[in-house]
Structure 1
Amino acid sequence: MERIYDRTSLYCEVQYIDEELRVAITSHAQDHQLGDVIGSTAYCCETVSIRRHRPGILGRLIGASYLNDTHFMFTLITSKYLIVATNGLKRGVRVRSARLADISLSPLQLREGIDFGVSVTAMWLGTRKISAFYLGVGDDPDGRRLIGEVRLAVAESKIA
């Protein structure tokens, strides 16, 4: 089986986040009383994902991405929160966040080379149930560093 997405991750400074996403992040932070997440970001990484294969018939029926659908994801880590903002032509803009102390992490069980990332399970702010979100990143130095930074931030939040 081949990779589903081509992903590339790159460390970034928050001031370079796309304006539309920055506004959405700021609005999300205000709605959930997270404080100044842009100003307090300790680590930020952008991941660009390009879908390589068309989804199967079930995926097409439920509106899954199409071939060459590109989406952008910015992952921000503050001292208290993980914030994930995505933007894509088919997906639109979405922002989700969770308290680091409430997160549990586990690798997604995919065959080597299919994808690289981590499953983030939490009570996402604004929801009423615990759910998992797959944080897919590039299998590159910055993608690996992001996963390491998320793991470290979650571990440190549990001992603080």
Structure 2
Amino acid sequence: MKQLYERTSRTRTASEMDKFTRAAIGAHAEEYQLNNLIPSTLHYFEINSVRIHKPGLLARLTGLNDSDAIFRTLVIVGSNYLVIVISGHKKGINVLSAALDSIVIDAPSSAASIENGFHIRGSWTNDEDFAPFYLGISNDPEGRLIFNTLCLAVRESRQSPGRHRRR
């Protein structure tokens, strides 16, 4: 498959999160009655994506192309929830979250074999269905760290009954 985006990933701390993103996550947490989505000791991942190729004519005519050529994705793996924040100039800030114990990761068994990303299926707070989400990551050690961290958190959430408090 042709690579559509050039991605870079890095680990960040809660103190580095901008106030607009923090406010969007806070509003999401309040709307869905989720507690402590951003603990003060949190480390999270930031993925910056830059579109490599111009969208095809059909995608531009139908509006199916991504509206932002450059966008940022934050991956926050908390103690009970996975929070994904996508932000771009045109798309604004969008927040998704799912309980870790509801997540299924559709990916190769080895992080070394992941090239550009993987699918996460879960019961997202803003969707009634068990729905997929494609998480594009960088093809480097930091991208593989995102995959490994999420796999470990999902595995641990299933091994700790009563860890997750449902809404």
TM-score by length of 2: 0.84
Aligned twin of 1:51:
51
Alignment map for 1:50-129 (pairs within 5 Å):
50-60=50-60, 61-65=62-66, 69-107=69-107, 115-129=115-129
The 1:114–1:35 alpha-carbon spacing in structure 2 relative to 1, beyond 3 Å, is: closer
The answer (yes or no) to whether the contact 1:120–1:135 under 8 Å persists in 2 is yes
The 1:90–1:62 alpha-carbon spacing in structure 2 relative to 1, beyond 3 Å, is: same
Q: Does 1:27 align with 2:27?
A: yes
How far apart in 2 are the matches of 1:33 and 1:120? 22
Aligned twin of 1:135:
135
How far apart in 1 are the matches of 2:126 and 2:2? 35
Supply the RMSD in Å over aligned alpha carbons: 2.1
Hey, which bits of structure 1, 4+ residues long, moved more than 4 A? Answer: none
What 5-or-longer segments of structure 2 have no aligned partner? 161-167
- For residue 55 of structure 1, report the CA deviation from its aligned partner: 1.9
**Match of 1:148, as an amino acid?**
N
The answer (yes or no) to whether the contact 1:65–1:90 under 8 Å persists in 2 is no
What 5-or-longer segments of structure 1 have no aligned partner? none
**Match of 1:131, as an amino acid?**
A
Structure with the bigger RCO (C-alpha within 8 Å, sep 6+) is: 1
- For residue 19 of structure 1, report the CA deviation from its aligned partner: 1.8
Q: Percent identity?
A: 33
How far apart in 2 are the matches of 1:41 and 1:105? 25
- For residue 114 of structure 1, report the CA deviation from its aligned partner: 9.9
**Match of 2:35, as an amino acid?**
G
Q: Does 1:156 align with 2:156?
A: yes
